Amino acid sequence: MRAGFIGLGIMGKPMAKNLLRAGYAVQVYDHHEESIQEVAAEGGVPCGSAREAADGADVIFTMLPNSPQVKTALLEKDGVLESMKKGAIVVDMSSIDPTVSIELEKAVTAAGGEMIDAPVSGGEPKAIDGTVSFMCGGKEDVFEKVKPMLAKMGRDVTLVGPIGSGNMTKLANQIIVAVNIAALSEAMVLASKSGVNPENVYRAIRGGLAGSTVMDAKAPMMLDRNFNPGFRIELHIKDLTNAMNAAKAVDMDLPMAEKVLDMMKQLQENGMGKCDHSAVVRYYEEQEGVEVKR
């Protein structure tokens, strides 16, 4: 099968490379020429537009920042729908508003294609080693057609429900991750301010009920003062904002998510929007005048 791949950012670039290593022909496009050339060096076919990347592809993957970028890539001039062949499948792996996924699926279907929303979780390290988790929404028969390709980029590939369900699941995931990071930050700062070594606290509790994938991924980054992005604060702000909009649509409050969103917005205002979301610890550190470190 021939693939088109649009969006070669922190996550998209290694995922496209994993498809190439699995033996698929992959036509790639991104706004940054250097990203295109890096993937082309591993066998990708460089393209000058989303339309060109989609031309002749059986499956077209998009991995873009948010709803507006996906809509542009699919619907506007030089977009996917200008060249998508009949029967092609669009797999949007971006994390966007679920209502936009539903809207886009209608447009893709009207143009003779099919669509799955398949946002991912795991961050850059798991994108590199091909172990991200896919949360998919769409028709079961369409999902089964693309599942083997998704399995070359991720470890867990799950169909949650109809179109939009994948992105709703991703929003749930992002709430849980955000609140976990905030709780970890709060606890590490409390330990540090109390004179207890935060690294020892982490080692002591990681194997108990408090232990989590989030803790094992983010506590070492906090202790090392390493806030290079695996997943940027500005992107988590986008996801939590989408979650707040989804909650508003069903008349629900998200008090914990809202609090963490406010923390992240404050960090962004202070110039840390491009830092990894483990930098939420900086919010507490600045409040308390201490630093979490080894």
Q: How far is CA 62 from CA 5, 13, 48, 94, 136, in A?
A: 6, 11, 15, 7, 14
Phi, psi of 66 (to 5 degrees): -160, 180
Determine if residue 289 is left, alpha or beta; phi over 0 gives left, psi from -120 to 50 gives alpha, anything else beta.
left
Per the CB < 8 A criterion, the answer to whether 214 and 174 are in contact is: no
Residue with tokens 């290079």: 228
Other CB atoms within 10 A of residue 262 CB = 13
Report the phi/psi class of residue 195: left, alpha or beta, with left for phi > 0 and alpha for psi in -120 to 50. left
Cβ 205 vs Cβ 211: under 8 Å: yes
Question: What whole-number distance in Å separates Cα of residue 121 and Cα of residue 59?
Answer: 21
* H helix and E strand count, the chain: 13, 9
User: Annotated active-site positions, please?
Assistant: 170
Classify residue 268 by its DSSP letter.
I
Report the C-alpha gap between 89 and 61 in whole angstroms: 9
